């Protein structure tokens, strides 16, 4: 067990590697109740979130549709990355990270007053992530027939209320599956039912190798308040159009985009048998950078990493050097993700 955002979390339930492969090949379940579920209510909820977030919730036009976004400071630094669901015109559900939960709530409430919206933390709810090619079928088998049909009909990155449960076809592993928000009193039975059906219980270690193979950022490692989305591989999450939308951090991002250059987040593949880790130095012809996340990738059977390097060295196919245990080892720049839906997407 380790401390993670103030929660005691298991690194694994026996074997990190076996848990990783279970998700890639079959199904695994993660207890992600440490994530914060925050409901935003009010007649001006949409207007509020259009100012608060770098992505534009106006793009959400059907109930249950989800949007990934960063929440920024005025200087463009990333306060958190999150998912927001459009529930109805006066209700949005936001899922935030554990480590930033308290600061996120304070920031959201600070800006809520001007829009007369309620920001309500849902501490009465727990959340499980069921991930893998067989995950959706396993969860559906535990639901009444009508609800099972509705869950299986969900498009990717959409959610729906199914009785007291909220089921979303989202995740953090690069595989298909569901994230399920349930009343706290019901989460143990759900966990036990999934495990009894053969779904592998998975811990933090497998979650990290899976998300890194999928090229997904981890807050506090690949981004934080000292980084803007443009240097964190997250430009795609910024809605610069329409030009008149004045979201927090927009002037800083526009200045950075106009200036060009700077640093970029890239993927790295190491040919050596060593393992890249966070904070290791990356040497490029354009200057130095650093590894933000690195690990041994079980699906590829080699070391992979995300690294922040000078923009001039960020082109895929380029060669850089990573300092591992005092040695400079060659690594190839690639474009993440490394793996999605069980398929290797880089030339390993």
pLDDT, tens digit (0-9, with 9 covering 90-100), for 256-306: 999 988 999 999 999 899 999 999 999 999 999 999 999 999 999 999 999
Which pLDDT value is given to residue 8? 86
- List alpha helices for 75-203, DSSP H: 101-112, 135-140, 145-152, 184-196
Query: What's the first-to-final CA gap in the chain, in angstroms?
Result: 33
Cα four-point dihedral sign 103, 108, 111, 113? negative
pLDDT value at residue 45: 98
- Using pLDDT thresholds of 50, 70 and 90, give the confidence band for residue 5: confident
Q: Examine the pLDDT at 196 and tell me if it is beyond 80.
A: yes
pLDDT (mean) for 143-158: 98
Q: How far is CA 274 from CA 31, 216, 223, 303, 308, in A?
A: 31, 22, 25, 7, 20
Q: Does domain 27-198 have CATH number 2.60.420.10?
A: no
Residue 3: per-residue pLDDT = 83
pLDDT by residue (tens digit) across 65-79? 999 999 999 999 999
Q: 75-107: string of b/e by CB count within 10 Å (b at 16+)?
A: ebbbbbbbbbbbbeeebbbbbbbbbbbeebbeb
Q: What is the pLDDT of residue 151?
A: 98
pLDDT at 217 over 80: yes
Give the Cα separation of 44 and 101 in Å (integer).
23
**Per residue in 167-185, pLDDT tens?**
999 999 999 999 999 999 9
Question: How much of the chain exceeds pLDDT 90, in percent?
Answer: 96
Q: Where do the H-state alpha helices sit in the chain? A: 16-25, 45-52, 101-112, 135-140, 145-152, 184-196, 204-213, 250-259
Say what the pLDDT of residue 109 is. Answer: 98
């Amino acid at each position: 067990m380790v401390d993670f955002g103030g929660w005691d979390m298991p690194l694994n339930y026996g074997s990190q590697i076996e848990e990783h492969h279970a998700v890639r090949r079959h199904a695994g379940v993660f207890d992600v109740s440490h994530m914060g579920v925050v409901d935003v209510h009010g007649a001006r909820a949409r207007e509020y979130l259009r100012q608060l977030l770098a992505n534009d919730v106006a793009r959400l036009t059907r109930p249950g549709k989800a949007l990934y976004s960063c929440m920024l400071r005025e200087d463009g630094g990333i306060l958190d990355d999150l998912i927001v669901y459009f529930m109805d015109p006066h209700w949005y559900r936001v899922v935030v990270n554990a480590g930033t939960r308290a600061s996120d709530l304070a920031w959201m409430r600070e800006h809520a007053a001007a829009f007369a919206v309620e920001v309500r933390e849902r501490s009465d709810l727990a959340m499980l992530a069921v991930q893998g090619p067989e995950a959706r079928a396993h969860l559906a088998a535990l639901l009444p027939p009508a609800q099972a049909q509705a869950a299986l009909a969900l498009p990717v990155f959409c959610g729906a209320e199914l009785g007291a449960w909220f089921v979303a076809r989202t995740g953090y592993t690069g595989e298909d599956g569901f994230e399920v928000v349930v009343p706290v009193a019901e989460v143990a039975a759900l966990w036990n039912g999934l495990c009894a059906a053969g779904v592998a219980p998975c811990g933090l270690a497998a979650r990290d190798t899976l998300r890194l193979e999928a090229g997904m950022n981890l807050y506090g490692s690949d981004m934080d308040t000292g980084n803007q989305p443009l240097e964190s591989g997250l430009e795609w999450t910024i809605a610069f159009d329409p030009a008149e939308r004045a979201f927090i951090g927009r002037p800083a991002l526009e200045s950075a985009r106009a200036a060009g250059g700077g640093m970029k987040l890239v993927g790295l593949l190491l040919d050596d048998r060593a393992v890249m880790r966070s904070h290791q130095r990356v040497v490029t012809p354009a200057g130095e950078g650093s590894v933000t996340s690195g690990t041994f990738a079980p699906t590829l059977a080699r070391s992979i990493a995300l690294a922040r390097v000078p923009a001039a060295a960020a082109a895929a196919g380029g060669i850089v050097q990573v300092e591992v245990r005092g040695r400079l080892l060659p690594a190839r720049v690639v474009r993440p993700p490394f793996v999605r839906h069980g398929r290797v997407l880089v030339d390993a």
